[in-house]
Amino acid sequence: MKPQDLVVTPMGVRFLNRTFPCTIGRGGIVSARHKREGDGATPAGVHRIVGMLYRPDRMAKPTDWALPIGPMDLWSDDPADEDYNLMVRAPHGFSHEKLRRADPLYDLVILTDWNWPHAEPGRGSAIFLHRWRRPGYPTAGCVALDPQDLLWIAKRITYQTRLVVR
């Protein structure tokens, strides 16, 4: 592991010689081969950072490579969808998650390569890094952080940064 890796530990996320409190999925950490859609688990493994999304109506662009989340942007979480585990646009006839939410949960989203870009149906959709609802409140499988910590991290990651979940 390298200092520029985001390493999930029992104490939080370690990055650039700092540790940030975080929450993980309500299902805990599971081995990648046991991860399934809807299980609420965070998959163990080494996951590359493949993108960043942000709400331009709520914050400044955090990095030059971040992409804005528009009003019609969704994420497909339906294993029957040919666009499963991909960003799609409304209207969309399959199960999906709105990226432009009323709450601030997805104001800043860091995308990993979990089950992407060629998703295996049912293995679980996106594992994001996003802001937490509150300290200790679990996610549906993502890694969540305090919004200030997430922004600090977002401004310093590169495409060489990896999310390491043990």
Please give the average per-residue pLDDT across 71-91, as a whole number: 96
- Write the pLDDT tens digit of every residue in 32-77: 999 999 999 999 999 999 999 999 999 999 999 999 999 999 999 9
Q: State residue 72's pLDDT score.
A: 98
> Tens digits of per-residue pLDDT, 14-33?
999 999 999 999 999 999 99
Q: Left if phi > 0, otherwise alpha if psi is -120 to 50, otherwise beta: which for 113?
A: alpha
Maximum distance among all Cα pairs of the chain, rounded to whole angstroms: 44
Q: Which residue has the tokens 């493994």?
A: 45
pTM of structure: 0.96
CA distance 71 to 55: 10
Contacts of 96 (CB under 8 A, 6+ apart): 74, 75, 76, 77, 78, 88
Which domains are present in the chain? Answer: 6-165 (2.40.440)
CB count within 10 Å of CB 102 equals 6
Tens digits of residue pLDDT in 98-143: 999 999 999 999 999 999 999 999 999 999 999 999 999 999 999 9
